[in-house]
Amino acid sequence: MDMTQATKHLRNKVGAQSGLNAILKFDCGADGVAVIDGRATPNTVDNADREADCTVSLPLATLTDLLTGELEPTTGFMMGKFKVSGDMSVALKLQRVI
């Protein structure tokens, strides 16, 4: 899955109301970013790199595993597959989004 496909997949999962009430960025380094704006009504998902309440830094392959259900967010974090910076309470809401 490339970043365009990942963004589309996130957009479908998030829908109009994610319950995040925050901005969450998935930073895949050179592959790009996907940003969920849970403050906007309806929620938006795009690839504009901007400030976020919480940033999840991970390889695109790990994001793909999260989106396809091959990796649970809690397991991925505990295994060190991604790093979280910023508001950890936003990251804890990941399970209801992806």
| Domain coverage including residue 54 | 3-91
80 falls within a domain: yes
pLDDT of residue 12: 93
Answer for the pair 42, 68: CB distance below 8 angstroms, yes or no: no
The CATH number linked to 29 is: 3.30.1050.10
Asked if the structure places residue 97 within a domain, the reply is no
86 domain residue, yes or no:
yes
In a domain, 98, yes or no: no
Q: Please check whether residue 46 lies inside any domain of the structure.
A: yes
Structure tokens belonging to residue 38: 């849970």
Find tokens 């930073």 and name the residue: 27
In whole angstroms, give the CA distance from residue 12 to residue 97: 10
Confidence (pLDDT) at 35: 97
Residues 98/82, Cβ–Cβ less than 8 Å? no
Residue 96 maps to a domain: no
Torsion angle in degrees (nearest 10) through CA of 36, 42, 47, 51: -50
Structurally, the chain folds into a number of domains equal to: 1
**Tens-digit pLDDT profile for residues 7-61:** 999 999 998 888 899 999 999 999 999 999 999 999 999 999 999 999 999 999 9
Q: Which of 85, 92, 70, 93 is nearest to 14 (CA)?
A: 93
